[in-house]
Structure 1
Amino acid sequence: MDPAELTDASRLRSRATILHADADSFFAAVEQRDKPSLRGKPVLVGGLGPRGVVATASYEARRAGARSAMPMSRARRLSPGAAVLYPRFEAYSAYSRVIMETLGTLSGLVEPLSIDEAFVDLEAGSFGDDPGGAAAGARARIRELTGLAVSVGIGRTKLVAKLASDAGKPDGLLVVEPSDEDAFLLPLPVRAIPGIGPATAGALERLDVRTVADLRRQDLDVLTMTLGVSAGTNLFRLARGIDLRAVGPGGERKSVGAERTFAEDIYGAERIAAAIDQVTDEALRRLVAHGGGARTVVAKVRFADFTTLTRSVTLPQPSAERAELRAAAHLAARAAGISDSVRLLGVSFHNLSAHAQLTLAWADEDAAPPPSVDEPDATPEPARGPRLLTEATARAGVDIEHPTLGRGWLVHLRGSHATVRFETVTTPPARSQVIDLDTDPLVLVPPLPPTLGR
């Protein structure tokens, strides 16, 4: 392809009117907002078991070196004073709806990327002439309604808007006008460009490419020979700020996954099963980063003769449970006919949902899922009784209620003794109290609405 054709900017906008919004440290920020005693303190949200991973680290925990997708055990060592909480997707989904609805007031073209991130086409609304003012107003309204900070970047392309919101974190607003694009883009590390992972970065490092400016100096032929035609051509464009992707409401990510090609074919049921677990765990980390759950699990198997098969398992409802998704991956792989040798394994999650019905065991494989509520035999739809806090239903951070002390959240449970803070978004910080569940039961309750404390 002609490099001049690839770098033709005539189809790009003349104004910076694409907005990228990203809630800062979203899960942890929601927890800090709902739990006054955690405000300004390090918080880790994720799994608590031996293989638990961090879904989100607050900025206080990040300063100690903790980050998302890190093993929880390592994050706890780096930030030993951090509160470690199980994710509450019901709460996060409610906050997400408020954020997305507020962004929807700016334009009819809002493209959600995940539970806490979206693009907005301001030219499709009434704010094309004042993108900065529109962004400032939306950020202020989101803070008023939810108490959360949202970082915003604005550019004439999705690429620049996304990089601008990253550069503006935390709690920033950065508008990059077309005339300022080169000054903004060229000094950035090449890893800042979306899609450049460790393998691609390593290949570019061998070309002495460390910044976007270095990348721009590479010939198209060199990039395509090094990275392949598709990836090389794409990076050749992006290094010059050429990104023709439009904002579209149907643009939410459809799947996440991972695959691994083995240096030598693997044999034996135990080795293959272990490999399925490893690939599934990598896909799970990406699902955690995306937010929410998945309903369909697809396994891809390539055999020694290069025959490739894919099979899928669809769950009754979206799930983010590690054990359930792992089991589905094994079922799908067996359905593909794994026999005695495998060259490649892949696992991907489809039919993604930010509003999954979750018991949240995705990052804590040793945790027992909460039991279902038994219903009496009756012809009418029976009323469900209150769900009590027990060892089986206990998760650090869950919402609970006491008949006289009111609402609060679980710090931890040891036997029948629950350590609880009775506080909500509308109360002052509370001290921990120990409740004996044998004599003073606590009830699990849904999170309060995001806008209650505004």
Structure 2
Amino acid sequence: MSQPRTIAHFDLDAFFVSVECINNPSLKGRPLIVGGSKERGVVAACSYEARKYGIHSAMPMATAMRLCPQATVVKGTRGEYSKYSRWVTEIIAEKAPLFEKASIDEFYLDLTGMNRYFNPWQWTIDLRQEIIDKTGLPISFALAPNKMIAKMATNAAKPNGYMQVKPGMEEEFLSPLPVNAIPGIGKQTYQHLLVIGIQTIGDISSRKLSDLEFLLGSYGPELWNKARGIHHGEVVPYYEAKSVSTENTFEVSSTDMDFIMSELVRMTERIAHELRQDDKMAGCIAVKIRYPDFETTSRQMAIPYTCYDDELIPAAKALFHKLYRKGQPVRLLGVRLSEFTGEARQTNLFENSEKKADLYNAIDAVKDRFGKDAIARARTI
């Protein structure tokens, strides 16, 4: 018989708000909203004090201000969020045998088998405390037999708490929870479940599987399994996607800065498109230059997590100009993106971000249909 799995889920509490309060302690204890302008933006995050008024992330700022006119609004400092996220990632990477960075503020750790050497529960408590002591960020966690229950238990432990769901206790933990506590149940499905008399997760597990199949079709068995705590999602190692890069060796070494800049822009656009295809964002960019004598130099810089051309191109240009030996011909040019994270697009819930996302979705749709070079910036033509 295989050993039960031990999965820890860490989630930084009100992450954006917590970072803002560290950088400006006078904001602590206030109804605080991180987001765009009061008239046109959306709520990226809000403090627990603001949540008492019914405010939540992705809500239009105008609505949030009607609910809580006295709220303090800050636009957000994405670079700071990236910095603190990396800090927490480094602490976890130093200690955890296997971990997944699910988003800028969320991590899964697979601790299966660690009980042969020490107590995983105490180990996880100590890791949480180390993160708090070093970064000042509040963080919650839960230990459970699989990813789904670990995430749900973390939500139950918030704010700034922790709990454990031991093997065999899954249904006891799940049964009293509202049915929309199951990840993946949206508003429409939730309303449909209420209409058919299902309010809690226990209401699902008490039904016959055949009844759920009749009422919910193919979704019935999936929900039935989740209500019993059955979930087989694996912790995806963070190091799997290390980087994406491209480089070009010129047929003739060039000192033509217009040509070189056009190539730099074209290459950056190309790998940014690849990044968006994988629904990832990068936290680091590097540029490489090789000269005719084969001397090669490269430099990298940390950046706020992004996958957008207009944010990556200026960073690539800045690196190039720091590296380039003025007047020297360039034989090879390269661009590399690294430090990926999935679901980090939450950092872009600020003013104009929705328009930007729509614009890049339209651009990518054209590239996917007609080729990666179907659309290019004027500089690259």
- Coarse TM-score class (shorter-chain normalised): 0.5 to 0.7
Q: 2:108 aligns with which of 101, 116, 119?
A: 119
**2:274 paired residue number:** none
Going from structure 1 to structure 2, the CA distance change for 1:101 and 1:124 (only over 3 Å counts) comes to: farther
The CA deviation at 1:328 is 2.7
CA distance in 2, matches of 1:324, 1:211: 39
CA distance in 2, matches of 1:198, 1:251: 34
Give the alignment's TM-score, normalised by structure 2.
Answer: 0.64
Where do 1:204-353 residues align within 5 Å? 204-229=193-218, 231-250=219-238, 292-295=305-308, 320=348, 321-332=353-364
Q: 8 Å contact 1:135–1:173 — kept in the other structure?
A: no
Q: 1:96 aligns with which of 63, 85, 94?
A: 85
Where do 1:18-33 residues align within 5 Å? 18-33=7-22
Q: 1:146 aligns with which of 106, 131, 135?
A: 135
Q: Deviations over 1:275-324 (max 9, x none)?
A: xxxxxxxxxxx999xx954449xxxxxxxxxxxxxxxxxxx999844333
Give the alignment's TM-score, normalised by structure 1.
Answer: 0.54
Q: Deviations over 1:228-268 (max 9, x none)?
A: 42x32221111111112221215999xxxxxxxxxxxxxxx
CA distance in 1, matches of 2:17, 2:240: 23
The CA deviation at 1:201 is 1.2
CA distance in 2, matches of 1:89, 1:329: 22
The amino acid that maps onto 1:53 is: V
Partner SS for 1:123: coil
Partner SS for 1:19: strand
CA distance in 2, matches of 1:147, 1:250: 24
Q: 8 Å contact 2:213–2:220 — kept in the other structure?
A: yes
Going from structure 1 to structure 2, the CA distance change for 1:191 and 1:72 (only over 3 Å counts) comes to: same
Going from structure 1 to structure 2, the CA distance change for 1:160 and 1:128 (only over 3 Å counts) comes to: farther
Going from structure 1 to structure 2, the CA distance change for 1:74 and 1:140 (only over 3 Å counts) comes to: same
Q: 8 Å contact 2:170–2:228 — kept in the other structure?
A: no
Count of paired positions:
272
**2:379 paired residue number:** none
Verify: 1:175 aligned to 2:164, yes or no: yes
**Structure 1: stretches of 5+ with no match in the other structure:** 1-9, 254-285, 297-315, 338-454
The CA deviation at 1:126 is 7.0
The amino acid that maps onto 2:356 is: E
Q: 1:105 aligns with which of 71, 94, 102?
A: 94
Going from structure 1 to structure 2, the CA distance change for 1:128 and 1:48 (only over 3 Å counts) comes to: farther
Q: 8 Å contact 2:12–2:105 — kept in the other structure?
A: yes
CA distance in 1, matches of 2:21, 2:140: 17
Verify: 1:14 aligned to 2:46, yes or no: no
Going from structure 1 to structure 2, the CA distance change for 1:336 and 1:103 (only over 3 Å counts) comes to: closer
Partner SS for 2:168: helix
Structure with greater helix share of residues = 2
Going from structure 1 to structure 2, the CA distance change for 1:182 and 1:129 (only over 3 Å counts) comes to: farther
**1:194 paired residue number:** 183
Partner SS for 1:244: coil
Going from structure 1 to structure 2, the CA distance change for 1:127 and 1:249 (only over 3 Å counts) comes to: farther
The CA deviation at 1:129 is 4.2
Q: 8 Å contact 2:131–2:137 — kept in the other structure?
A: yes
Identity of aligned residues (%): 38
CA distance in 2, matches of 1:332, 1:112: 25
The amino acid that maps onto 1:324 is: K
**Structure 2: stretches of 5+ with no match in the other structure:** 242-278, 282-303, 310-335, 338-343, 370-381
Going from structure 1 to structure 2, the CA distance change for 1:293 and 1:111 (only over 3 Å counts) comes to: same
Where do 1:24-173 residues align within 5 Å? 24-48=13-37, 50-123=39-112, 129-173=118-162
